[in-house]
Amino acid sequence: MKKELRAQMIRNGKIYGVGLGPGAADLLSVRADKLVREATYIAFFRKAGRAGHARQIVSPLLSNDVREFAMEYPITTEIPLSDQRYNELLSNFYSRCSENIISLSRAGQDVIILCEGDPFFYGSFMHIFIRLKDKCPIEIVPGITGMSAAWTATNIPISWGDDILTILTGTLDKTTLENQLRDTNAAIIMKIGRNLSKIKQSLEKSGRFDDAFIVEYATMNKQTVQRLSEYEEDNAPYFSIIILHGKGRRP
């Protein structure tokens, strides 16, 4: 690193990507808890008009005079992922948010970016991280993932011995889902929402439907755990995960 850049970085405020865990306020790490309680400036994502899930998790921990930067998504599901405008809008949004955070850092301000679950696991924070990482000092605090909370909620272990665990998203196409489900031992399917009926068809075709569980709102007050075969909804909430447990080697 160039001397000049290093000198400049020493004066910069530090940015923290802090994993908050899956939802319960007592599932933060000790490090995350301390950073959040001592925060003078926080940043978090939210859907327009909503409080923001990550912000809600830490609500009881924040000091009264904490300053806040709410990063409001310009879109969520209004435009399909495949539409080029989706990428453009989000890319501009992440760049604008990053510029704001870089300015705060250059002014000597530390910023705690609140991340639901783990910051490096399918989260919006990663789009900020890649824009900041060479421009300001940044540290990541890992968190308990939603999937870990979800398999724990089923009270059944997820992977044994040599089990292969595959993580899928409901946004994948039906054939990919079906092939992956057929080839793995244990599986997690995230981002279910309106993809539920496609996922169900893939589970049925791969012969895994009867073994699947669906967990809504893991570790939150309204947590539910059901067999997918008994689940009556047409769509699942944003915070829901499908779990297929491994059945591998057991001495």
Ligand X SMILES: C[S@@+](CC[C@H](N)C(=O)[O-])C[C@H]1O[C@@H](n2cnc3c(N)ncnc32)[C@H](O)[C@@H]1O
For position 239 contacting ligand X by CB under 6 A, the verdict is yes
User: Which residues in the 19-38 window bind ligand X by CB under 6 A?
Assistant: 22-23
d(Cα 56, Cα 66) in Å, to the nearest integer? Answer: 14
Q: Name the minimum Å distance from CB 139 to ligand X.
A: 17
Nearest of 37, 28, 39 to residue 143 by alpha carbon: 28
Interaction pattern, residues 122-161, with ligand X; x per rule: CB under 6 A: xx---------------------xx--xx-----------
- Residue closest to 15 by CA, chosen among 144, 113, 120, 114: 113
Cβ proximity to ligand X: between 224 and 229 the closer is 224
List, in order, residues 6 or more apart from 118 with CB less than 8 Å away: 19, 142, 143, 144, 145
**45 interacts with ligand X by CB under 6 A:** no
Binding ligand X (rule: CB under 6 A), the pick from 29, 238, 247, 248 is: 238
Beta carbon of residue 76, minimum distance to ligand X (angstroms, whole number): 11
Sequence-distant (≥ 6) Cβ neighbours of residue 251 within 8 angstroms: none
The residues that bridge with 226 in the sheet, in sequence order, are: 214
Site size with ligand X, rule: CB under 6 A: 23
- Write down the least CB distance from residue 190 to ligand X, Å: 4
- Per-position x/- string for 193-222, each x denoting binding to ligand X as judged by CB under 6 A, each - no binding: ----------------------x-xxx---
Token digits for 191? 């981002």
Report the residue number, 10 or 81, with the smaller CB distance to ligand X: 81
Kindly state whether residue 190 participates in binding ligand X, applying the rule CB under 6 A.
yes
Q: Which stretch binds ligand X (CB under 6 A): 76-84, 94-102, 131-139, 187-195?
A: 187-195
How near is the Cβ of 108 to ligand X at its closest, in Å? 29
Segment contacting ligand X by CB under 6 A, of 26-34, 54-62, 102-110, 120-128 = 120-128
Q: What is the binding site for ligand X (CB under 6 A)? A: 22-23, 116-118, 121-123, 145-146, 149-150, 190-192, 215, 217-219, 238-241
